[in-house]
């Protein structure tokens, strides 16, 4: 019996940066990777520049100047969007492909975080999949884990390190003793950070990812407006040293947690105990904790970016399309999706690390303690340390858990004391 040639599925790939080029090379070498038996070939490509050096041969493929035209082309069966950005041509091209009844695979976390519900409705109305495994944690299958493997569980919380650039910067500051600005320049020179690093160091990249995971975990629509985002810009080398003296390491943690008061979705620098698994994730690694009702605590760690791992995640979604994956884009049909109720700030309690730089005068500690007591905030630990390179005396207080408005009120009052040299610095202490 002759089996004949396997059926062929044609891709249109928009975006030929590092991930797009890696996908081109992967499919040129292993176009038969899909378990369905179908062969995957690239039919058309699109990028900003046709002449750019990519390390991948795109000459066999039809070139499109317009990604929307590529998305609508009758010569492709599946549209792969690797352009990035929540608006503009990326959004228009994905919408055009879905309207034309073509499955879409994307690595665009900003697009899904901002417009996931609307695109899900369009995909489901046309009866085609919209898949985005590569949008979160690159080659580490966080989306599949939450959306598929844990679909029967009730997830209480998710917390992790979701941005490799920030993790690299914090790890390098601690290990080298260099300042934030020095390490950022180094990260840019190495290609870990963009020329404009705002999306990464501002916490927005991690926020896009946790917004997506929160939607999958809690059965709602992605709600970018509910995310509370704080980046790395205020983290000082002094805080890294003092936190370590107290037995902590600072990481940029993205977290989503459900409580009776609603769901809190947040990104901020966080103190983690030195022996915590998230504290041990160094360099550009990503890591994620999931707390479920039935499964308990689960921890995964792996490459969160990079062309190879991310291209492999894109290919995995393509394989699901070929296998006939047909399920809601999120945890329930788009017509039933609603935004999960956001927890009010007054309902959020945390332990706090408060760092002060004070004049070396009698009565300073007493005045700080009195102010905290007046605000109803109790001290858990206290550290005073003289440092030769400090402009004053650093004092660090850690508090017992308290409502965040109480903590902020105390910090404002302490900051007004005449013995303060610089504004107080507050970081949250993890409870994960």
For residue range 100-124, list pLDDT tens digits in order: 999 999 999 999 999 999 999 999 9
Specify the 3-state DSSP secondary structure of 362: coil
Same structural domain, 121 and 253: no
Same structural domain, 153 and 104: no
Structural domain contains residue 335: no
Neighbours of 55 (CB within 10 A): 10
Which residues on adjacent β-strands are paired with residue 351?
429
| pLDDT score of 412 more than 80 | yes
CA angle 394, 395, 398 (to 5 degrees): 140
Structural domain contains residue 314: no
Same structural domain, 104 and 188: no
Structural domain contains residue 327: no
User: Are residues 71 and 102 in contact, defined by beta-carbon separation less than 8 angstroms?
Assistant: yes
Same structural domain, 281 and 179: yes
Q: If phi over 0 gives left and psi between -120 and 50 gives alpha, with beta otherwise, what is residue 394?
A: beta
When computed from its CA atoms, the radius of gyration of the chain, rounded to whole angstroms, is 24
Q: For the chain, what percent of residues have pLDDT higher than 90?
A: 62
Structural domain contains residue 340: no
Across 360-381, average pLDDT: 89
Alpha-carbon torsion (248, 175, 394, 356), positive or negative: negative
| pLDDT score of 85 more than 50 | yes
Question: Residue 351 sits in a domain of what CATH number?
Answer: 3.30.70.260
**What local confidence, expressed as pLDDT, does residue 24 receive?**
93
Of 288, 303, 318, the one marking the end of a domain is 303
Q: Which residue has the tokens 């408005």?
A: 405
Structural domain contains residue 321: no
Better-scored residue on pLDDT, 164 or 304:
164
CA angle 391, 248, 384 (to 5 degrees): 35
At 2, the pLDDT band (50, 70, 90 cuts) reads: very low
What DSSP string describes 112-178? HHHHHHHHHHHHHHHT--EE-GGGSSTTS-HHHIIIIITTTS-EEEEEEE--HHHHHHHHHHHHH--
Whole-angstrom distance, CA of residue 25 vs CA of residue 311: 9
| pLDDT score of 135 more than 90 | yes
Question: Residue 201 sits in a domain of what CATH number?
Answer: 3.30.360.10
Q: How far apart are the first and last CA of the chain?
A: 59
Relative to beta strand 248-259, strand 104-106 is: unpaired
User: Are residues 19 and 310 in contact, defined by beta-carbon separation less than 8 angstroms?
Assistant: yes
E-strand spans in 260-400?
Answer: 262-273, 285-292, 296-303, 349-358, 379-384, 393-399
Structural domain contains residue 292: yes
**What local confidence, expressed as pLDDT, does residue 122 receive?**
96
Same structural domain, 170 and 285: yes
Tokens describing residue 217: 């975990």
Which residues on adjacent β-strands are paired with residue 372?
none
Q: For the chain, what percent of residues have pLDDT higher than 70?
A: 98
What DSSP string describes 60-110? TSEEES-HHHHHH-TT-SEEEE----SSHHHHHHHHHHHHTT--EEE--HH
Same structural domain, 177 and 279: yes
Question: Residue 106 sits in a domain of what CATH number?
Answer: 3.40.50.720
Whole-angstrom distance, CA of residue 85 vs CA of residue 380: 43
Across 332-346, average pLDDT: 81
| pLDDT score of 216 more than 50 | yes
Same structural domain, 220 and 93: no
Q: Longest Cα pair distance anywhere in the chain, in angstroms?
A: 94
Structural domain contains residue 336: no
Same structural domain, 200 and 273: yes
Whole-angstrom distance, CA of residue 368 vs CA of residue 356: 10
- Number of domain units in the chain: 3
Across 219-226, average pLDDT: 90
At 363, the pLDDT band (50, 70, 90 cuts) reads: confident
Whole-angstrom distance, CA of residue 104 vs CA of residue 116: 13
The residues assigned a catalytic role are 209
**What local confidence, expressed as pLDDT, does residue 193 receive?**
76
Same structural domain, 384 and 294: no
Of 72, 103, 135, the one marking the end of a domain is 135
| pLDDT score of 400 more than 50 | yes
- The 10s digit of each residue's pLDDT in 153-208 is 999 999 999 998 899 899 999 999 898 889 988 888 877 777 788 999 999 999 99
Whole-angstrom distance, CA of residue 254 vs CA of residue 237: 21
**What local confidence, expressed as pLDDT, does residue 364 receive?**
87
Same structural domain, 233 and 359: no
Winning range, highest mean pLDDT, from 50-59, 64-73, 163-172, 235-244: 64-73
Same structural domain, 173 and 295: yes
| pLDDT score of 86 more than 70 | yes
Task: For residue 94, give the nearest of 331, 329, 339, 336 by alpha carbon.
Answer: 329
Give me the chain's average pLDDT, please.
90
User: By residue range, what is the domain housing residue 96?
Assistant: 8-135
At 143, the pLDDT band (50, 70, 90 cuts) reads: very high
Whole-angstrom distance, CA of residue 163 vs CA of residue 178: 20
Buried b (16+ CB within 10 A) or exposed e, 205-227: bbbbbbbbbbbbbbbbbbbbebb
**What local confidence, expressed as pLDDT, does residue 6 receive?**
66
User: Are residues 237 and 178 in contact, defined by beta-carbon separation less than 8 angstroms?
Assistant: yes
Specify the 3-state DSSP secondary structure of 243: helix
Neighbours of 125 (CB within 10 A): 12
| pLDDT score of 1 more than 70 | no
| pLDDT score of 58 more than 80 | yes
Of 303, 335, 355, the one marking the end of a domain is 303
Structural domain contains residue 341: no
Could you give the C-alpha distances from 152 to 184, 220, 327, 374, in angstroms and in order?
A: 42, 15, 15, 47
Whole-angstrom distance, CA of residue 341 vs CA of residue 344: 9
Same structural domain, 44 and 88: yes
**What local confidence, expressed as pLDDT, does residue 388 receive?**
65
């Amino acid at each position: 019996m002759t089996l004949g040639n396997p059926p062929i599925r044609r891709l249109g790939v928009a975006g030929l940066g590092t991930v797009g080029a890696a996908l081109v090379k992967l499919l040129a070498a292993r176009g038969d990777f899909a378990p369905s038996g179908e062969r995957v070939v690239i039919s058309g490509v699109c990028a900003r520049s046709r002449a750019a050096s990519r390390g991948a041969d795109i000459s066999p493929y039809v070139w499109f100047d317009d990604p929307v035209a590529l998305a609508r082309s009758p010569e492709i069966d599946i549209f792969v969007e690797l352009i990035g950005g929540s608006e503009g041509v990326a959004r228009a091209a994905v919408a055009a492909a879905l309207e034309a009844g073509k499955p879409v695979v994307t690595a665009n976390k900003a697009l899904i975080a901002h417009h996931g519900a609307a695109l899900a409705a369009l995909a489901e109305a046309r009866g085609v999949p919209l898949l985005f495994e590569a949008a979160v944690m690159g080659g580490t299958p966080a989306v599949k884990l939450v959306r598929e493997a844990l679909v029967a569980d009730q997830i209480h919380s998710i917390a992790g390190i979701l941005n490799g650039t920030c993790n690299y910067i914090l790890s390098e500051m601690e290990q080298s003793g260099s300042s934030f600005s020095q390490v950022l320049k180094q990260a840019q020179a190495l290609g870990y950070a963009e020329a404009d690093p705002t999306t990464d160091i501002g916490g927005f990249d991690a926020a896009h990812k946790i917004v997506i995971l929160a939607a999958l975990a809690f059965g709602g629509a992605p709600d970018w407006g509910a995310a509370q985002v704080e980046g790395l810009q205020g983290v000082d080398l002094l805080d890294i040293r003092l936190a370590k003296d107290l037995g902590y390491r600072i990481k940029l943690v993205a977290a989503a947690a459900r409580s009776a008061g609603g769901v809190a979705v947040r990104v901020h620098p966080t103190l983690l105990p030195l022996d915590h698994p998230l504290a041990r994730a160094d360099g550009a690694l990503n890591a994620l904790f999931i707390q479920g009702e039935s499964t308990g605590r689960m921890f995964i760690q792996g490459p969160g970016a990079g062309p190879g791992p991310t291209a492999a995640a894109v290919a995995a979604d393509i394989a699901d399309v070929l296998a006939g994956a047909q399920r809601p884009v999120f945890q329930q049909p788009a017509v039933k999706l609603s935004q999960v109720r956001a927890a009010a700030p007054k309902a959020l309690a945390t332990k706090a690390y408060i760092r002060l730089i004070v004049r070396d005068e009698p009565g300073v500690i007493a005045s700080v303690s009195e102010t905290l007591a007046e605000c109803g905030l109790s001290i858990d630990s206290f550290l005073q340390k003289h440092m030769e390179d400090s402009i004053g005396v650093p004092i660090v207080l850690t508090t017992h858990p308290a409502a965040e408005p109480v903590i902020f009120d105390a910090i404002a009052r302490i900051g007004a004391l005449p013995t303060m040299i610089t504004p107080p610095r507050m970081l949250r202490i993890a409870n994960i």
